[in-house]
Chains A and B, each alone.
Chain A
Amino acid sequence: MLVPLKGSWALIFGVSSGMGRATARALADAGCHVIGLHFDLAEGRQRAEEHAGTLRELGVEAHFFNRNVAAKQARAELVPVIRDLTSGVGPRIVLHSVAYGTLTSLLPVRDGQEESPGVSPQQLTMTVEVMGHSLVHWTQDLLRAALLPRGAKVFAMTSAGGNRVLPGYAPVAAAKATLESHVRHLAVELAARGVAVNAIRAGTTITPALRKIPGSEKLIAHCQDINPGGRLTRAEDVAEAIVTLSSSDSPWLTGNVIGVDGAEALVV
C-alpha cells in the first residue's frame, strides 16, 4: 500500500552533497523531515546549513550535524537526538550516501614523475570502515534503540565500480563490494521485522565525489556516449527513485542492488 511520506522522518548520511543532498530535497518536497549527517570544513558546512534552510522553507524540519559518520562517539551522541526528534518512532527512511575514502591503486605505480606508493593498510581500513561498515554500526545502534520501525526502508548508495575496475578506485571499490554484501545480510536479518534494505547502484553521475576520482573526465565522456538513455544519471534521478521506493509500506522489495542508471550498466 502506498503511504504518504508527509510527516515521517529521513536519516541521511552524506547529506551535504551529491545523491544525499538531492534526496533530502526530494523527500522534503514530499513533506518528510530530514536528519542529516555530513562531514565538511567551514565552507562545506556553510553550504550544508544553507541547504538545511532551504528544506525548512518547504515546511519540514531539517537538522544537520557535522560529524564523522564512522565515529562511535557520533552514534552515541546522535542516536538519542534521533529518538527525541522522531518522538521515539525512528526514521522511516535511512540513506547511506557516504563518499569519504582514499583514491589510489593497490600497488605502487609510476605516472611520469609522480610515484604513488599504493594503498596503506590504514587507508584501506579507513575507506571500508567509513563507506561500508558504518552502515552496519548505525543499523545496529538504531535497532538497539528500537528506532527502525516496521515499514522502514534502508538504502545504501553503491556504484558500478564496486564490481569493475577503475584506476585509482580500488579502496572505494572494496568498500562498495562490502556495502553490497552488508545490504544482503541486513535484508535477511531484518526481514522478520518488516524493514527493507536495498543498495542503489546509480549510473555515472556528476557529483563532487565523482570529480575526485582520477580520470573521471574520461569516464564521464564514455558514459555520456554509451548511456542508452542518451544522458548521464542525475542526482535527482536517484532522489526520485528513493522517494518512489519509500512510498510503499511493503517490506517485500528487499535485499537487491537496484540500478538507477538508464540501463547504462547493461551496455558498458
Chain B
Amino acid sequence: MSGNRTADVDLEDLRALIAEELELPVEEVTDEADLKNDLGVDSLTAMEVAVQLEKKYRIKLDEEEMKSLTSLAVIHRLVAAKVGTA
C-alpha cells in the first residue's frame, strides 16, 4: 500500500477526542491552539490525552513525545506518522 497515510487519521476525530479529554467545546480546539497556553492543559491532562491516543490509534508514545504534543496540528502529524509506520 502506498500514498499519503495521514488519511488514516481523521483530523475531526482527533479534535473530538482531545475536546472530550479537555472537557472543552470542539470549536475551541482549533488546529493551532496551544494546548498549554491557550487551552490550559497541565501535565496530567496531557497524560490523559496521550493514553487515549495510544488506546484509540494503537500506537506507543514515550514521555518526550508526550511533551511535544503542543497543538492539534502537531498531534495529528505525530499520530499519522505513527499509524503509518505501525
Contact = CB atoms under 8 A, between A and B. Distances in A.
Interface of A: 39-43, 45, 66, 68, 70-71, 100, 102, 122-123, 126, 130
Contacts of B48: 68, 71
A68 B62 contact: no
Nearest to B55: A66
Nearest to A68: B48
Interface of B: 40, 42-44, 47-48, 50-51, 54, 59-63, 66
- Which secondary structure characterizes the binding site on chain B? helix
Contact of A42 (B40, B43, B44, B54): B54
18 contacts: A41-B66, A42-B54, A42-B59, A42-B60, A42-B61, A43-B62, A45-B54, A68-B44, A100-B44, A100-B47, A102-B43, A122-B40, A122-B42, A123-B43, A126-B42, A126-B43, A126-B44, A130-B44
B44 to A, nearest CB: 5
Contact of B54 (A41, A68, A71, A122): A41
User: Which 3 A-B pairs give the minimum distances between C-beta atoms?
Assistant: A42-B60, A122-B42, A126-B42
A42 B60 CA distance: 5
Nearest to B65: A41
Contacts of B59: 42
A68 B43 contact: no
Contacts of A42: 54, 59-61
A41 B51 contact: yes
Nearest to B41: A122
Contacts of B51: 39-41, 66
